[in-house]
Amino acid sequence: METRHKVGERFLTTELGTFLGASAVGIIALQHSAELTAWVVMGWIVLGTLLALILAWLSLRLAMGMPRIAYVLAGILAPGTWVMMILVLAVMLGPGLKPVIYKVKNWACREL
């Protein structure tokens, strides 16, 4: 059985990774999509940052022994981070990313 410290540590690592992933997705969207404005992308990154920081704080609370309310809030907020990333990916899959998809597809077909 894991200690609370280990659970909190693992949770913190996961959420910080999620934040970095969301930031990377936002930056890629900014580079490849002409339809997105910088403000939209920055808004998604800020939202992802806030969610990740809240979840990191909750995970530290878990590690320090603040039980039920932290679990409930983490259960509510963690899916929000993933939904935000999925929405950014959905916006990215517009016309701006099609050339990248075609290049990857052509490269994969050539390699096979």
pLDDT tens-digit readout, 10-64: 666 666 666 666 666 666 666 655 555 666 666 766 776 677 677 667 666 666 6
Structure tokens at 106: 């052509």
Please tell me the number of Cα atoms within 13 Å of 70 on its side-chain side.
19
Q: What percent of the chain has pLDDT over 90?
A: 0
- pLDDT of 26 reads 62
Q: In this predicted structure, what is the pLDDT of residue 23?
A: 64
- Give the model's pLDDT for residue 46: 72
For residues 13 and 77, give the distance between their C-alpha atoms in angstroms, rounded to a whole number. Answer: 15
